[in-house]
Amino acid sequence: MKEIFESIETFILTLPPLLQLFAGIFATLGVIKLFMVVVDFIEDRREKKS
């Protein structure tokens, strides 16, 4: 698992600064979207129980 993160890190560091910025923005939006999907899934399961 550590090797995967190191390879991603080296790939990002070889990019120009503007592309690093865009990669960071898209990664942040992806994490937020993933969090929203997980919360929505949990909320749907709670509504079905009650």
The rounded distance, in Å, linking the Cα atoms of 36 and 40 is 6
Residues sharing a CB contact under 8 Å with residue 13, sequence separation 6 or more, in sequence order:
20
The average pLDDT across 20-36 equals 97
Computed over every residue of the chain, the mean pLDDT equals: 93
User: To 10 degrees, the CA torsion angle through 8, 9, 10, 11?
Assistant: 50
More reliable by pLDDT, 23 or 48: 23
Give the pLDDT confidence of 7-23 residue by residue, as tens digits: 999 999 999 999 999 99
Statement: residue 50 has pLDDT above 70:
no
Select from 41, 45, 8, 37 the least CA-distant residue to 23. Answer: 8
The rounded percent of the chain whose pLDDT value lies above 90 is: 82
DSSP assignment of 12-27, as one string? HHHS-HHHHHHHHHHH
